[in-house]
Structure 1
Amino acid sequence: MTEARLQQLNGDSGPTITVFERSPDGGKGLARDMRVRWALEEVGQPYDVRPVSFAAMKQPAHRTLQPFGQIPTYEEGDLALFETGAIVFHIVDRHNGLLPLDATARARAINWMFAALSTIEPTIVDREVVLYLERDQNWFEQRLTLVEDRIRARLTDLSNRLGNADWLDGRFSAGDLMTADVLRRLGGSGLLEEYPNLAAYVARAEARPAFRRAFTAQREFFNAAAEP
């Protein structure tokens, strides 16, 4: 049983994150709360979840926490955060385990967190937008090709940097957590498999016990929400 579930049963105090009441990813762990769950599991921090419907996400009560009407949010005492990068940084900054103690190595790990969100993920999200919103357009195939070529350019650079290493900069860090989770969004596209070292990198990250606990927690939540 996950620490999150134990907290729900025992009433232990801890941060609360908001999640989709019914996640559109079908329980695949692709919603951005997965990154927060994973970070909390890595540092051994119990947490609770509060489901939010699509309608409630756009209401004033939720927008006071997340002004853009999205998930996740993070609440702990009088602190409320939004944006997964800021939330994960807050977690790893307060708890040992995902940032090196050496100041220089720590800065490099944070650098990779920003790179994952600012350089790698936007091109991947562009592909999702094309697939979901532009499929019926007569220029769909050309647009998809252009977007996937941009993704390949990012993956080529990342693959070259990773090389034969297990992780991006020595030991597994928050930079690897964010990068691997961003790359997971390419599942089923075939793009990641074009870079065997990156595919193996993601597989190593997904094999971590903390990831498995986080994935199981969100999957169980999705299945429970889907029950009639």
Structure 2
Amino acid sequence: MTITITAFERSPDRGGGQARDMRVRWALEEVGRPYEVRLLSFRAMKEPDHRRLHPFGQIPTYEDGDLVLFESGAIVLHIAGNQAGLLPDDADARARAIAWMFAALNTVEPPIVDHEMAGLLDRDKPWHDKRLAVLEGRVGERLGELSSRLGDADWLDGAFSAGDLMMVTVLRRLDGSGLLEGYPNLYAYVARGEARPAFERAFAAQLAVFAEGARDR
């Protein structure tokens, strides 16, 4: 059976590839697995049919025969663990790549999302500027640590892995903030990820959804 994933019918990022289905699309493209995408409106995401797939009413979900998964990290880990190309064969290197996946989601992404949400939702609050400065400091701390660890390497731990895939998608959330540009090695790291043919195919596929939606409006 063909894998089916879910994605926004009209993504809030206007085709920027920052919605979390992008991680799953990219992973599937890296391992060469064909997939279909079921597009959902925000209303449909909260309906019982979708909540049976994702109890929190979000995207993406992943269906492959009887297997149903939610949470982008869990989905990418499943894809990487069952297909060659995203995790090393060596057991220790494999464990380190998985650790980088968790680091991207649990350590680097939370302050980036907090900063993003403050910019979107709190602009009219009297404490906005002070809070934004605090959040920028937290993001900068994580970027500095990551930059030091990456150094002049192309990828986080040898060859490209699911850890890099996840980290690049997290760092892309800083697009337009100006924060990543202060770390030239991280900026180049993201650019290397975006230059991968699998990323380009995944990005084009999700951008086409936005373009189609724009024509329909």
- TM-score, length-scaled by structure 1: 0.94
Q: Distance in 2 between matches of 1:196 and 1:203?
A: 11
User: Within 5 A, what are the aligned runs for 1:5-16?
Assistant: 13-16=1-4
2:128 corresponds to: 140
Matched, 1:115 2:103: yes
Displacement after TM superposition at 1:226 (Å)? 2.1
User: Within 5 A, what are the aligned runs for 1:42-191?
Assistant: 42-191=30-179
2:188 corresponds to: 200
Moved over 2 A (4+): none
Matched, 1:38 2:26: yes
Q: Which amino acid aligns with 1:142?
A: K
Q: Percent identity?
A: 67
Q: Which one of 200, 203, 210 corresponds to residue 198 of structure 2?
A: 210
Displacement after TM superposition at 1:222 (Å)? 1.5
Residue 135 of structure 1: SS of its match in structure 2?
coil
Q: Distance in 2 between matches of 1:201 and 1:172?
A: 11
5+ residue gaps, structure 1, are 1-12
Displacement after TM superposition at 1:224 (Å)? 1.2
Could you give the per-residue CA deviations for residues 183-209 of structure 1, whole angstroms, max 9, x where no partner exists?
000001110000000000000000000
5+ residue gaps, structure 2, are none
Residue 185 of structure 1: SS of its match in structure 2?
helix
Q: Distance in 2 between matches of 1:129 and 1:207?
A: 28
Q: Which amino acid aligns with 2:50?
A: H
Q: Distance in 1 between matches of 2:179 and 2:11?
A: 24
Q: Distance in 2 between matches of 1:95 and 1:177?
A: 15
Q: Which one of 8, 17, 37 corresponds to residue 5 of structure 2?
A: 17
Q: Distance in 1 between matches of 2:14 and 2:192?
A: 23
Q: Distance in 1 between matches of 2:177 and 2:120?
A: 14
Could you give the per-residue CA deviations for residues 79-114 of structure 1, whole angstroms, max 9, x where no partner exists?
110000000000000000010000000000000000
- TM-score, length-scaled by structure 2: 0.98
Could you give the per-residue CA deviations for residues 113-156 of structure 1, whole angstroms, max 9, x where no partner exists?
00000000000000111111111110000000000100000000
Q: Distance in 2 between matches of 1:187 and 1:129?
A: 14
Alignment RMSD, CA only? 0.6
